[in-house]
Amino acid sequence: MSALILIELNGSEVSANSRAALTAALQLSDSVDALVLTNDSANASSAASMSGINTVKTIVDDSLEHANVEVASKLIADVMSDYKFLVSGSSTYSKNILPRVGALLDVQPISDVCEIKSSNTFVRPLYAGNVMATVETSDDTIVMTVRATAFEHAEDGGSAAVEALSPAMPESNSTFISLQESQSERPELTTAERIVSGGRGLGSKDNFAMIEQLADKLDAAVGASRAAVDAGFISNDYQVGQTGKVVAPKLYLAVGISGAIQHLAGMKDSQVIVVINNDPDAPMSRMADIVWQVDLFDALNELNAYQV
Amino acid sequence: MKIIIPVKRVLDPYTQARVNKQTQQVDLSNAKMAMNPFCEIAVEEALTLKESGAATETIAVSIGTDKTVDTLRTALAMGVDRAIFIKTDSELDLQPLHVGKILANIIQREEAQLIIMGKQAVDNDNNQTGQILSGLLNYSLGTFISKFDLSSDANSVEVSREIDSGIETRKLNLPAIVTVDLRLNEPRYASLPNIMKARSKPLETIELSSLGIDTSPRIKVVSVEESGTKDRASKQISSAEELFTELNQMGVL
């Protein structure tokens, strides 16, 4: 009844959501292996240092640098003959690949697992997290993504064996052209301890820089509502919510965000929520621990000038 | 080139989902329903391709009880040429794997080269059906797309995908399935004359049972509960100094 976790790499390092996947997999099985699809065999070492993994299996091929989904899903499906569970952290990487693996294995995958009740019973969100469902699967092989905010992130401390697999590379009908990566020196949104998030109320891309300034002051990541992204204040990968990223930092500071249910779905588990807004009736304010009802530009100026 | 656009009828996204404790299901009786917002974006993209002359025909497909026809009529009113309605007898708990198998059947029958669909439905939030469909048909796949360009020979598409690290651009050879993200386009509204016209557009009904697809549930919903957003006891403050003092006391700085 062994489990395989699909590792997502962040450069050469294991991503935080893969660390959550390992914690989840260890709740399902005593025997957890990891699979790394990469263009560089050196990238297995970060996975091998995580505590709790038996063997890290690697498949190395140039085409795997930018996870070609047709290739990746076939490779993973073939490896799965030795495993009962396939677990990966919820991200655009795993959500792209795992359902296609499910199709190849004739398995109904389970998305965004937040809690493992037993080896076939899981809790997952519906309706942007407004409803939590307990679901029981009857599939023999179980394929799932898990929320990185719902499971501890496994630490280093292991030294797993690394085993290189060399399957024939499947054919592909698509080709990678380019990746326009967001460059940021700030903490990564999904793992940051503090997030300063801005909404439509900021009014312009130039004004949004005040959010970035405050984030730097607090050593925080920058987030945004869908409205702010749609308006072009900041790029899509900063969006928090049902269709963006799900976060649960120690501190979530929301500026000029009214709080559509889709946004609340992405940040409601934050430990401390601070809302800066001039609208006392905004849904966001009801779930705040601290509310500052004020013109948001006055607040940002005061906060950015404040000597900590 | 034929385009198939699978569409789903869901609880209106601006309506709060309520759980019926007796049935342990989300209560959809008397609830306001709508086309899944991502499906509207998929319809819009297909219509744009038809208007540019790149597509010969646009076909919307949906699966469900008789009320699902409303959603197909909405797609027709937006401008889709015809609709295929896969009729189920009752509110079957169809899961993405089932939906994928049903859609694969229709796509093969229609010999469609391009499938444009939403990246997720805002009820079950699975974000799976397009990916599953691509695996069943062995079509190329572009998920979460925010930009779509058909090649001049109509043999491939270049798509930009919104991924966690930024924007990835890929070329997909047809046949292909793309799942659309929010920023691909602004879906049009159906005008009143088009709503009238949609009533006479072709809508074919196929009984699900006639397709011979195993729809026995793989996943059983044991229970559901509303988790919503819990109101918190908000403390009002009125200065940066107060805020920093509070946050320091809470130990979150």
pLDDT band at B75 (very low <50, low <70, confident <90, very high): very high
Task: Look up the ipTM and state it.
Answer: 0.95
Do A155 and A198 share a structural domain?
no
Do A120 and A231 share a structural domain?
no
Q: Is B151 on the interface with A (CB under 8 A)?
A: no
Do A156 and A209 share a structural domain?
no
- Comparing alpha-carbon positions, the chain A residue that sits nearest to B216 is A138
Size of interface A-B (CB pairs under 8 A): 262
Window 50-89 of B, Cβ < 8 Å to A: none
Contact criterion met (CB < 8 Å) for B224 and A132: yes
Do A144 and A29 share a structural domain?
yes
The amino acid sitting at A31 is: S
* CA-to-CA dists, residue A34 to A21, A54, A162, A187, B184, angstroms: 10, 8, 9, 26, 35
Do A117 and A252 share a structural domain?
no
Chain mean pLDDT for chain B: 95
Give the residue among B11, B27, B30 at the shortest CA–CA distance from B19: B27
Could you say which of A100, A131, A165 is where a domain stops? A165
**Average pLDDT of A130-136?**
95
CATH number at residue A199: 3.40.50.1220
Token reading at A130: 């407004």
Each residue's pLDDT tens digit, A31-60: 999 999 999 999 999 999 999 999 999 999
Domain count, chain A: 2
The pLDDT score that the predictor gives to residue A195 is 97
Q: Is A99 on the interface with B (CB under 8 A)?
A: yes
Do A204 and A134 share a structural domain?
no
Each residue's pLDDT tens digit, A156-175: 999 999 999 999 999 889 99
pTM: 0.94
Distance CA A207, CA B118 (A): 32
Query: Among A62-71, A211-220, B174-183, whose mean pLDDT is lowest?
Result: A62-71
pLDDT band at A190 (very low <50, low <70, confident <90, very high): confident
**Average pLDDT of A177-203?**
91
Each residue's pLDDT tens digit, A101-113: 999 999 999 999 9
Of A95, A97, A130, the CB nearest to B16: A130
Do A193 and A161 share a structural domain?
no
- Comparing alpha-carbon positions, the chain B residue that sits nearest to A112 is B126
Domain assignment present for residue A182? The answer is no
pLDDT band at B228 (very low <50, low <70, confident <90, very high): low
Is residue A147 scored above 70 in pLDDT? yes
Domain assignment present for residue A122? The answer is yes
Could you say which of A132, A165, A198 is where a domain stops? A165
Is residue A221 scored above 70 in pLDDT? yes
Instruction: Please say whether the beta carbons of A42 and A12 come within 8 A.
Output: yes
B-chain CB neighbours of A251 within 8 Å are 247, 252-253
**Average pLDDT of A277-291?**
91
Domain assignment present for residue A266? The answer is yes
Domain assignment present for residue A171? The answer is no
Each residue's pLDDT tens digit, B117-167: 999 999 999 999 999 999 999 999 999 999 999 999 999 999 999 999 899
Do A97 and A195 share a structural domain?
no
Q: Is A241 on the interface with B (CB under 8 A)?
A: no
Query: SS3 for chain B, per residue?
Result: CEEEEECCEEECCCCCCCEECCCCEECCCCCCEEECHHHHHHHHHHHHHHHCCCCCEEEEEEEECCCHHHHHHHHHHHCCCEEEEEECCCCCCCCHHHHHHHHHHHHHHHCCCEEEEECCCCCCCCCCHHHHHHHHHCCEEEEEEEEEEECCCCCEEEEEEEECCEEEEEEEECCEEEEECHHHCCCCCCCHHHHHHHCCCCEEEEEHHHHCCCCCCCEEEEEEEECCCCCCCCEEECCHHHHHHHHHHHCCC
Query: Among A181-190, B47-56, B148-157, whose mean pLDDT is lowest?
Result: A181-190
Is residue B229 scored above 90 in pLDDT? no
Instruction: Please say whether the beta carbons of A28 and A146 come within 8 A.
Output: no
Domain assignment present for residue A177? The answer is no
Distance CA A139, CA A130 (A): 26
- For A239, the domain range is 189-305
Is residue A301 scored above 80 in pLDDT? yes
- Comparing alpha-carbon positions, the chain A residue that sits nearest to B95 is A108
Do A277 and A233 share a structural domain?
yes
Instruction: Please say whether the beta carbons of B5 and B59 come within 8 A.
Output: yes
Best B14, B27, B122, B165 member to test A by mutation, with max A CBs in 10 Å, is: B165
B-chain CB neighbours of A135 within 8 Å are 219-222
Contact criterion met (CB < 8 Å) for A179 and B166: yes
Do A68 and A33 share a structural domain?
yes
Do A154 and A16 share a structural domain?
yes
pLDDT band at B36 (very low <50, low <70, confident <90, very high): very high
Domain assignment present for residue A131? The answer is yes
Chain mean pLDDT for chain A: 95
Do A137 and A263 share a structural domain?
no
What residues have CB less than 8 Å from A85, skipping those under 6 apart? Answer: A1, A2, A3, A4, A25, A28, A29, A141, A142, A143, A144
Could you say which of A111, A131, A165 is where a domain stops? A165
Domain assignment present for residue A181? The answer is no
* CA-to-CA dists, residue A137 to A109, A134, B23, angstroms: 9, 10, 19
Is residue B82 scored above 80 in pLDDT? yes
CA B152 to mean position of chain CA atoms:
27
Distance CA B67, CA A87 (A): 37
Q: Are strands B203-207 and A131-137 parallel, antiparallel or unpaired?
A: unpaired
Domains assigned to chain B: 2-250 (3.40.50.620)
Contact criterion met (CB < 8 Å) for B234 and A289: yes
Domain assignment present for residue A119? The answer is yes
